[in-house]
Each structure stands twice: as structure tokens, then as C-alpha cells.
Structure 1
Amino acid sequence: MATHIVSLTVNNRPGVLANVSELFGRIGCNIEKLSVRAGKQPAVARMKVAVSIDAGSLDGVTARLAGLLDVIQVKTKARRHWREPVAIGRTSAFWIVAYSLFITLFGTNLPAPLYALYRAQWHLPPAVMTLLFAAYAIVVIPVILVAGPLSDRIGRGKLLLSGILFALLGSICFLLADGPVMLVLSRMLQGVSVGIMNGVAVAAMTELGGMQARSQAALAGSAAVTAGNALGPVVSGFLGELAAHPTRLPFALHAMLVFPSIVGLWLIGNKGERARGKIRIRLPAVPRAIRPALYAAAGTSFISWSIMSLVTAILPAYLPDIVGESSLIASGVGLALVLGLSAWAQIRSGRYPLLANLTVGYLLLATGLAVLLAAAAAKSPALLALSAVMLGLGHGPCYARSLRYVNESVPDEYRGQAVSIYYGVTYMGVSLPILGLGIAAQRLGLLPAICIFAGVTVGLMAWSLYRWKRHLA
């Protein structure tokens, strides 16, 4: 069974899309992707439908589509981004892509425990420290939107190889950094790398494993991201505390670990078919009826990730200000603990209703922020650890269940655009609030800035929960 692109020229009338979708549904054929655009004449529209179907059944489907009242013309072609078995085998290629995704996220999270060293070494103000984190997130958003269409045109393999090369460049810049400008550049390069890998890796693994292996590809991609997020801070924390060159050795190690990925992706090559025509990058949009569910879910992700960025960006750099002492190992292990608890909570969240997950998640996040303020006021490592546990456990269900709700509630033909909006809002939550926190910390001090951040965030949680209750009623 291969993926085929069915191109239809239809009359531009209400109900045509529903008739086409209904026909595929009657024959038990799942639509993987659907796009509609206006033709050169206002009365005509063009549809492209990606479906997984065997070649023997395709002719019958084509004939039935052509028999629909408003269908003018039907064309089909196979779409295989990996036409022939790659030189090293599809299974090996699958795991090389998974390793590439892991090592990219591993490198992206190496700097987190080292921010305290950079701050002390170059006397960096709070605004610069938060800019280091925000620069990465701001770059990721447009790259994710561009990476998917670009990989359709030039092939997955070439884009994945460019993504891992950006990861290598990011580590080299960190290795050679002699000031804050170089650090910001390094974070931007890492943002480009993560944007490419997040946008393409799972699609490539799905195609290498066959279209029936979607669950395996999604699980492997999720595991790679989680492992990279968790292990990066641990490794750099230990090396930063014990190594002779704490701000250089972690990135030298990452550069060495990247080389197997470069070789593997080069061996995989690029067997993709190039799409014809110009690439049109459009802002994603969804129908008005879908927006309440999408905005509610995206708002939850915005809130939960803004709090997680507080943990990953601010706390490692300002641990001495909060508890009166600094330990890179403690910072690294602490970040891994928060991310690990979040991953565990994501897995457990599937057993409980959506509203229960969100209520408990918000309650844990709000309590975690309160305990964080108490830890900063009392300079208590124990309270800081307790707040990290609460924030990790609260983040997991809010993030996982809001994303799951988007996947379940949005129709197939709009799911891709809806997920793009969801992740765009998510990365805004990663970058914008934490950047504002850094500016406030420079003017008011760290503790007052965190107080303002916590107050605004708790208000947003209350408003979000109220909107969820109304939406689900």
C-alpha cells in the first residue's frame, strides 16, 4: 500500500468537499492530507488529497470520484519520498533519524546548567540571560512552518542533513564563544536545527517505516525528544562542575556525538521526489467552528510552557540568588527531574478525563509557583526542589492533554494547520513571557519579577479553566 496524491478539479460550490470526503469514508480509505485552493477561474477549485491505498483499488476510486456531480477532472500520482530501499536499510535509516533527533535536542539543552557560569564570567544582566533562551524559541517558529513544505520539495534526507549540520555549527559557536553575541548566535543556530528536525524527522521515520508505522514513528520521536531534553542538562551539569573547561567540554562532546549522525544521514541519501511548482508558505488557518477548541488547547500549552521555560531558563542561571549557593550538577539533575516527571505525568494523564487533568495540572502549577516564591524568599534548596517536582507534575497533563484534544477534535483536513497554530502559540509561551521576566528582573529585581510572573500566570490559569468548563459543558 502506497501513498497516492489524487488531484481534483471541481466546481467551487458548497458541499463539494463534504461529498469527496464522504466517498473516501464509504470505501474505508483514510485521508492523510487534504488541501483546497481556488482555481484561475472563481467558479473552479482544485483539491489535492493524499490517501494510503493499494494500486489495484485506485482505479475504482478514481472512477467513482469522476462520477461525482461537481468533479470536472481527476488525476493521480504516487508519492514516495523514499522510492528505493536506502543503502543501509530502512530499519537502520529509521533509527539513524531517531538518533539525529535525540542528539539535536541533547545539544540544545546542554547550555541550561551553564548559564550561571556565563553570567558570572561576563557579568551578563538578566535581560541578556533571558535573550539567550528566547532567541532560540523565536527562531524555531518560522523554521517549523517552512521545514515541512521545503522537505516536500527537496526531500527529507537533504533537509535532515542540513538540520544536523546546524546543530554542529551551534555547538562549535558555543565552543568558541568569547562573549554574549556569540552565545546568542549559537542559540539561534540551535533553534534552526531544532525547527528542521522537529518539522521533518517524524515524517521521515513514518515513511521509512511505512505509512502503517505511524504510532511507532510518533513514539520513537517522542522518546528521542524527551531523552534529549532530560540527558543534556545532566551531562553538562556534571562536566561543568568537574571538568577543567566547563563551558567548552560539553559542546566538544556534542560535536563528536553529532558526527555519526552526519555520516548516517549522508548514507541514507535523498530518495525523495521533488514537488513541482513554487513553494507557497501560507499562514495556517482553520474554520471558525474549530477555533474555540483550538484556542483553548493552545492557551493551555502557552501557560504550561511559559512556566517550564521559567524552570529551564531562569532557575539554573539564578540558583545562587535564590538559595544562596550554586551547583551545576544540582541544576542539571534538577532540570532532568522536572522533564522526567513531566514525561511520566503525560503518560499517566491518558487514564483520566480532560477537565480533571487540567484542573489538577493547573493546581500543581499554581502551587509550584507559590513554593518557588517561598524558596526564593527563604533561600531554601528543599523548597526549590519541591517546587520543581510540582511544576513538572503540573506541566505534563496540561501539555499532553491539550495536544491530544487538538488531535481528537479537529477534522483530518484541518489537523495539520491546527497543530501548526498550536505549536506556534506554544513557542510564543516559551519565549515571550520569559523575555519579559528578564527585563522586569533587571529593573525590579529577580524576586519581584517572579512575583509578577506568578500573579499573571495564575490569573491566566483561572481564566483558561473557566473557558474550558464553558467549552466542555
Structure 2
Amino acid sequence: MASTAVAATQRTQTVHPQRWSYLLLLSLLALALGCSGLPSPLYPIYQEQWDMSPLTVTVVFAVYAIGALGSALTVGPISDAVGRKPVLITALVSILTGLVLFLIATSAWQLILARFLHGMAIGAITVVAGAALLDVRPHDGARNGMASGVALNVGITITVLGAAAAAQWTTHPLRVPFAVVGVVVLAMLAAVIALAEPHTGRTGGRVRIQRPSIPQEIASDFWFSGIGIMTSWSVLGVFLSLYPALTQQATGHTSIIFVGIVVAVMAAASAASQWLSGRIDPRKAAITGDLGMIVSLLCAIWALRSGSTAFVIIDSIVLGAAFGLAFGGSLRHLNDVAPPEARGRVMSAYYLLGYLAMGIPTVIAGALSSRFGTAAVFPWFAVAVALACLVAALLGALGGRTRPVTESPVNL
């Protein structure tokens, strides 16, 4: 009985001299994904005012994923060696630089450069802040994964709604949202500067960038989680880039606030499902989410063809809830098994798969949309991702956690 109480206390205590460090790290994750989704409700304005094609929009979105891939390949080992704090400070400065570019942008190449900087910065924050959460609360990996997923989606919800409202009711819709977020980033930068380094076990030695690898003993667990983020983030990429304009065309709503609502309800439903499923076995949650995404993706085709505002909103909520289960379940599972000495590189490998799945399908969908039209391409994309979700669910149902005797790393 006493040991159970001690274990419960360990799971809720922060192993860090600053008790607010845990909330700060969660806030950084929320800020990161908020900046990721910030331009989403503004893409229709860029398309209209700057005559940007669907391909250009997806390129702007995809270079974000390319920048994030670079971070996923490098920042894990760097933060393991030199600490989390220097990486987080550098990332926040990069976000500020990208926001300034958005503020002064007059052509697509400036947007591309700004999104590349944001991709590098946001990729760094998601990997390093996720690892730092495990440094701060090492005894509660699954709960850290749930809290991380909720924070990421809350960040998108608040930022997208705020950007849409600013775009709808201000005279400078392509300037005000970035200025407001810039003030928030400055405040977060000051807080991180005041933060005591969470990673007390850093080596301080020479940083050796190697190709992503994960410890052999968690190989099967990692690949189960990796498939979960790949299927869910491939949906996220297209829904944050092409879907906003598509819903406007299908429903006849031209207001930017409508676009913000569609994206925000999806993100809010994802946050809620991750929070409510925190006590469900992560593997079961991820499988349920994959099955739910199959249904909601196919229903999205019907909702768009019907042109019904209510159906589009309802399907976005269902899709968000399923996304939350698939992504949240995979992240909780990985947090629960990642060994302390390899947290940085495990998170790097995990998000590397996610950003690959986000960027590649998005560019393909954008290129095809420029030639055949978004409305014609979307059903094929939805069916393809639904099939991938089915494969993920089957692998999750048939697979089981195994721990090989060897401990040599598995290269990706």
C-alpha cells in the first residue's frame, strides 16, 4: 500500500527546481503547433489577393515540413549533448524571425522562407520540449504524452480561431495575426531564458549527428507509434493547407471565420479526445483512432459533395476526435517506453516520420490539385489515407509488444 502511494506521488511530482517548468514546456508545445496552423485560415486570402495556385499553397506548407525534418534529424542528439534550453531559445528566435518575414511579405518566396524557418523552429520545439517533459516528470511518460497531444491541439485551436477573427474584422488581415503572435513569442522567450536547464544528464561532449535510430529493445513499440503519427499527420497536412479553401467552395461560405471554425473544431475535438482517452490503453486508443479516421475521411467526401455546412462541421469534429485518438495513443505509448538516455533521438525519429508523412502527401495533393482541381483530387486522397489507416489498425491489432534480447540500435 505504501509503495503504491509513493509511486503515485512520483508520477505527479515535477523533478525540477522550478515547479512552473512543466506548464511552460506544455505552453511551448501549444505555441509551436499554434504557429504551425497560424497561416491556415489566411491561405484563401493569399490565393485571392496574390493569385496563388493550390500547388504554391502546398509548397509554402511543405517547406515547413522540410525545415521540421531538418530539426528532427539533428536537434535530438544536440539537446541530449548540450541541453534542452539552448535549442529552445534558438527555436523561439527563429519563430520571431519568421513572423517578421510574414509581416513584411509581398511575394510567395518570402512566405516560403518564413515557413521554412518556422518548420525548423517548430520541429525543434516539438522534439526537444517533448523530451524535456520526460526530464521534468520521468515517472509519468504516458501522462506526458497525453498532455503533449492536448497542448498541441489546444495551440492550433486558439491560434487558428484568433487568426481567423483578426483576418475577418481587421483592416490588415495578413499582418495583425502575426504581430499578436509575435508578442506572445517574446513573452515565452523571456520565460525560457529564466528556465533552469531540465536535462541534467547532458553529456556536454562533441555532438555527433547520426542517422535516426532507436534502441532495439523498443523497436516494435516504436514502429507501432511511428505508423500512428504517419497516418494521422498525413491527414493533418492536407487539412491545414487545402481543406480550408475546399470547404469554402463546397458550402458557399466566403468568410474567413468559417474557415477558422472548421480547423478549430477539428483541433478542439482532437484535444478533447486525447484528454478523455488518457486512461485507455494507448494501443487500443490508437487502433480505435485509425478506424475512426477511415469512417470520417470517407464521410468528408460525402459532406463536401452535399455542400452542407452542418455536415462539414460535424465531420470535422469526428475526424478531429479520431485523429486525437490515433496520434495521442501512439505518442503516449512511445513516451511510456522511451529509455531516459535516448529520449532525444527517439523523439527525433518519431517526429521525422510525422513530418515526412505531412509534407510528401501534401505536395502531391497540391500538384494534382493545380492540374485537376482540389475538389476532384480530394476524394482520391481521402481514400488513399483511409487505406493507410486500415493497414495501421491491422498492424496494431496483430502486433504485440516485444523486447528482443539484443540492445543494438535500429536505424531508420
User: RMSD over aligned Cα, in angstroms?
Assistant: 3.2
| Equivalent in the alignment of 1:316 | 244
Give the whole-Å Cα distance in 1 for the aligned partners of 2:399 and 2:331. Answer: 16
Q: 1:344 aligns with which of 260, 268, 272?
A: 272
The Cα offsets for residues 260-299 of structure 1, whole Å up to 9 and x where unpaired, read as 2233334448798884542111123346775444334322
Q: How many Å separate the matches in 1 of 2:332 and 2:186?
A: 35
Residue in structure 2 matched with residue 451 of structure 1 by the alignment: 379
Map residues 281-292 of structure 1 onto 2, 5 A cutoff. Answer: 281-286=209-214, 291-292=219-220
What is the identity, as a one-letter code, of the residue corresponding to 1:242? W
SS in 1 for 2:173: coil
* Mapped contact 1:116–1:318 kept (Cα < 8 A): no
Question: Does 2:28 correspond to 1:103?
Answer: no
Whether the aligned pair in 2 keeps the contact of 1:159 and 1:196 (CA below 8 Å) is yes
Cα deviations across residues 108-147 of structure 1 (Å, max 9, x unaligned)? Answer: 3221111110111111111111112111122112213322
- Partner residue, 1:251: 178
Partner in structure 1 of residue 4 of structure 2: none
**What pairs with 1:417-456 in structure 2 (closer than 5 Å)?**
417-456=345-384
8 Å Cα contact 2:76/2:127 also seen in 1: yes
Structure 1: distance between partners of 2:214 and 2:80: 22
What are the equivalent positions in structure 2 for 1:112-151 lying under 5 Å apart? Answer: 112-151=40-79
| Aligned-residue identity in percent | 26
Partner of 1:302: 230
Per-residue deviation, 1:216? 8.2
- Read off the aligned partner of 2:171 and give its amino acid letter: A
| Distance in 1 between residues matched to 2:228 and 2:315, nearest whole Å | 20
Alignment partners' CA distance in 2, 1:223 and 1:410: 20
Residue identity opposite 1:423 in structure 2: Y
* Whole-Å separation in 2 of the counterparts to 1:219 and 1:360: 16
CA distance in 1 between counterparts of 2:299 and 2:365 reads 18
TM-score, scaled to structure 2 = 0.82
Equivalent of residue 199 in structure 1, options 103, 106, 127: 127
Segment of structure 1 superposing worse, 370-379 or 111-120: 370-379
- Tell me the SS of whatever aligns to 2:399: helix
Residues 379 and 245 (structure 1), Cα distance of their counterparts in 2 relative to 1, 3 Å cut: same
Distance in 2 between residues matched to 1:151 and 1:412, nearest whole Å: 13
- 2:191 is matched with which residue? 264
Q: Say yes or no: does 1:465 pair with 2:386.
A: no
> Quick check: which one's helix share is greater?
2
Q: CA deviation at 1:311?
A: 2.0
Tell me the distance in 1 between the aligned counterparts of 2:350 and 2:71: 15
Range with greater deviation from structure 2 (461-470 or 111-120): 461-470
Tell me which moved more, 373-382 or 130-139: 373-382
Which amino acid counterpart does residue 244 of structure 1 have in structure 2? T
Matched residues in 2 for 1:216 and 1:357: separation? 14
Q: 272-281 or 442-451: which moved more?
A: 272-281
Contact 1:360 1:394 in 2 (8 A): yes
- TM superposition score normalised by structure 1: 0.72
| Structure with a larger share of its residues in strand | 1
Partner of 2:157: 230
Do the aligned residues in 2 keep the contact of 1:170 with 1:189 (CA within 8 Å)?
yes
Q: How far 1:457 moved relative to its partner?
A: 1.6
Counterparts of 1:79-94 in structure 2, within 5 Å, are 90-91=18-19
Q: Partner residue of 1:17? A: none
Give the Cα–Cα distance (whole angstroms) in 1 for the partners of residues 344 and 189 of structure 2: 29
Over residues 42-65 of structure 1, what are the superposed CA-to-partner deviations in whole Å (9 max), with x where a residue is unaligned? xxxxxxxxxxxxxxxxxxxxxxxx
Q: CA deviation at 1:364?
A: 2.5
User: Which runs of no fewer than 5 residues in structure 2 stay unpaired?
Assistant: 1-15, 402-412
